[in-house]
Chains A and B, each alone.
Chain A
Amino acid sequence: MHTHTAMSPSVPLQEMIRAIRSARTQCEERGVIQRECAAIRAQFRQADNGGRSHNLAKLLYVHMLGYPAHFGQMECVRMIASPRYSEKRVGYLGAMMLLDEKQDASLLITNSIKNDLSHSNQYVQSLALCTLACMGSAEMCRDLAPEIDRLLRASNSYIKKKAALCAVHIVRKVHELGELFVPAARSLLSEKNHGVLHGAVVLIIELCEQNPETLERFRKTVPDLVQIMKGLVLSGYSPEHDVAGISDPFLQVRILRLLRILGRNNEGASDSMNDLLAQVATNTDSTKTVGNAVLYETVLTVLDIKSESGLRVLAVNILGRFLLNNDRNIRYIAMTSLQKIVGTDHNAVQRHRGTIVDCLKDQDASVKRRALELSLALVSASNIRSMMKELLLFLSSCPPELRAHAASGIFNAAERYAPSQRWHIDTMLHVLITAGGDVRDETVPNLIQLITNASELHCYTVHKLYRALLLDISQQSLVQVACWCIGEYGDLLLKGDCQETEPVQVTEDDALDALETVLQSHMSSPATRGFALTATMKLSTRITDNVDRIRSIVSIYGSCIDVELQQRAVEYNALFRKYDHMRAAVLERMPVIEKNSPGHTNGESTGEAVKDVPTAKMKQGEPLLLQQPANQVCDLLDLLGGSEETLQPGPAVDCLVSGLSVHAAGTAGGDLLDLLGGFEPAELSPAPQVLAYDKGGVTLTLSCEKQSDTGLTVTLTASNSSDSDLSSFTLQAAVPKSVQLHMKAPSGDSLPARGTAKVTQMVVLNNPNKVNLKMRVRVSYTRQGSPFQDTVQIDSFPGLDAAGQ
Chain B
Amino acid sequence: MIRFMLMVNRQGQTRLSRYYQPVELSRRAQLEADVVRCCLSRRKDQCSFVDYKDFKLVYRQYAALYVVVGVTDNENELSVYELLHNFVEVLDKYFSRIMFNLDRVHIILDEMIQNGHVVETNKSRVLAPLTALDKMADG
Contacts and interface: CB of A to CB of B under 8 A. Distances in A.
A198 B118 CA distance: 8
A100 B19 CA distance: 12
Interface residues of B, number: 45
B14 A64 contact: yes
Nearest to A100: B22
A79 interface: no
A290 interface: yes
Nearest to A164: B119
A90 B82 contact: no
Interface string A127-165: 000100111000000000000000000000010011001
B71 to A, nearest CB: 13
Interface bin, chain A? 35 or more
Contacts of B28: 66
Interface in A18-67: 57, 60-61, 64-66
A248 interface: yes
Interface in A258-303: 289-290, 292-293, 296-297, 300
B119 A65 contact: no
B115 A297 contact: no
B137 interface: yes
Interface stretch (A326-334, A416-424, A794-802): A326-334
B77 A333 contact: yes
B106 A93 contact: yes
B94 interface: no
Interface stretch (A358-366, A609-617, A669-677): A358-366
Interface string A646-686: 00000000000000000000000000000000000000000
Contacts, number: 128
A348 B115 CA distance: 39
A293 B46 contact: no
A329 B79 CA distance: 12
A133 B81 contact: no
B41 to A, nearest CB: 11
B72 interface: no
B7 to A, nearest CB: 11
Contact of B82 (A134, A199, A293, A367): A293
B79 A249 contact: yes
B46 A13 contact: no
A86 B130 CA distance: 12
A548 interface: no
Contact of A366 (B14, B50, B132, B137): B50
Interface of A: 13-14, 17, 57, 60-61, 64-66, 68, 85-86, 89-90, 93, 100, 123, 126, 130, 133-135, 158, 161-162, 165-166, 168-169, 194-195, 198-199, 202, 240-241, 243, 248-250, 253-254, 257, 289-290, 292-293, 296-297, 300, 328-333, 363-367
Q: Which 10 A-B pairs have the closest CB atoms?
A: A293-B78, A328-B47, A195-B120, A133-B115, A332-B47, A364-B46, A329-B47, A293-B79, A165-B114, A66-B29
Given A13-B101, A126-B129, A293-B76, 20 more contacts: A13-B102, A13-B103, A64-B16, A64-B17, A89-B103, A162-B119, A165-B115, A169-B115, A195-B119, A195-B120, A195-B122, A248-B121, A249-B82, A250-B121, A289-B81, A328-B46, A363-B46, A366-B47, A366-B50, A367-B47
